[in-house]
């Protein structure tokens, strides 16, 4: 479909995007890969959608896809410069019997693409590109007993740099991060102020992330950098805030408050309240008398 030569290694490929043909008129609207894919694209003649986010790749942008994820493609009609960059395609079978087989699942940015690509500075782009070029040279050589070990080491190095640059991005994009924090606060306030608590119970991390159009891992990672707390801890803080309000301003029984706050069992509410405040709900109420 892309007019590329056959892979030089059965389980891993490095592709120079300048060699990829333009998108044909019958380009599929979406693709599903059964392998990992890491992209660095610039000046591409199409828009891409992964999860809820649309990427145009006008500047150095890197993003990561896990197997069986859907990649949407929107070809552009206007003439644009020839796309540049690279793709690293990795079949999971390459990782068998290596520590990376399980460790790769710990790199949260394979989910981050739901709403956040990695925007690289020029020096950062050069670092990851050098690693990928070295990996490409390794798989183009004569394969021997050391090939897999060297390729895995290069992959681990690339993923570690990806981790570093993502955390740098959290820090350098604090303005957008604080906007996300404001949206989270508005979402939780609205949820706890209407009838959804009684109907659906406490909001889950998955629900909050989907409502904010990000992945759960991305949201918790961002919140950890900004506030030191995970998404679940923010939800619990909102629970305690509302509980204190009800305990101090109403005569509702503790069990009634627990049900109103979405708890199926009052004991679970009391346990969380004491863990957060170091006093029981009843003791907290008595402190106002």
Band (131; pLDDT cuts 50, 70, 90): very high
- What is the pLDDT at residue 33? 81
Q: Percent of the chain at pLDDT above 90?
A: 28
Q: Which domains does the chain have, with CATH numbers?
A: 12-171 (2.60.120), 175-286 (1.10.10.60)
CB burial readout 206-215, b (16+ within 10 A) else e = ebbbeebebb
Alpha-carbon span 197 to 257, nearest angstrom: 11
Mean per-residue pLDDT, 241-248: 89
At 178-198, the pLDDT tens digits run: 677 888 888 888 888 876 776
Low-confidence winner among 18-27, 32-41, 188-197, 206-215 (lowest mean pLDDT):
18-27
- CA nearest neighbour of 284 among 237, 250, 247, 254: 247
Would you say residue 161 has pLDDT above 90?
A: yes
Would you say residue 176 has pLDDT above 60?
A: no
Query: What does R_g of the chain's alpha carbons equal in angstroms?
Result: 24
Arithmetic mean of pLDDT over the chain: 81
Band (22; pLDDT cuts 50, 70, 90): low
Model-level pTM greater than 0.85?
no
């Amino acid at each position: 479909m892309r007019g590329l030569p056959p892979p030089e290694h059965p389980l891993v490929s490095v592709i120079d995007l300048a060699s990829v043909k333009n998108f044909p008129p019958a380009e599929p609207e979406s693709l599903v890969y059964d392998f990992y894919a890491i992209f660095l694209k610039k000046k591409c003649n199409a828009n891409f959608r992964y999860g809820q986010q649309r990427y145009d790749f006008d500047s150095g942008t890197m993003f990561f896809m896990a197997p069986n994820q859907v990649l949407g493609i929107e070809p552009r009609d206007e003439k644009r410069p020839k796309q540049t960059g690279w793709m690293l395609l990795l079949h999971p079978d390459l990782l068998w019997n290596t520590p990376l087989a399980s460790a790769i699942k710990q790199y949260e940015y394979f989910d981050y693409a739901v709403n956040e690509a990695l925007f690289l500075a020029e020096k950062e782009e050069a670092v990851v590109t050098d690693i990928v070029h070295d990996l490409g040279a390794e798989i183009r050589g004569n394969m021997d007993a050391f090939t897999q070990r060297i390729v895995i080491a290069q992959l681990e190095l690339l993923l570690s740099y990806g981790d570093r640059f993502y955390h740098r991005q959290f820090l350098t994009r604090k303005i957008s991060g604080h906007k996300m924090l404001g949206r989270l606060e508005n979402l939780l306030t609205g949820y706890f102020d209407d009838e959804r608590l009684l109907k659906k119970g406490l909001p889950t991390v998955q629900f909050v992330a989907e409502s904010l159009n990000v992945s759960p891992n991305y949201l918790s990672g961002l919140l950890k950098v900004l506030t030191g707390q995970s998404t679940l801890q923010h939800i619990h803080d909102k629970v305690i805030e509302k509980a204190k309000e009800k305990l101090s301003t109403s005569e509702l029984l503790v069990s009634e408050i627990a049900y109103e706050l979405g708890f199926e069992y009052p004991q679970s509410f009391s346990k969380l309240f004491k863990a957060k405040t170091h006093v029981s709900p009843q003791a907290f109420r008595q402190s106002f008398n």
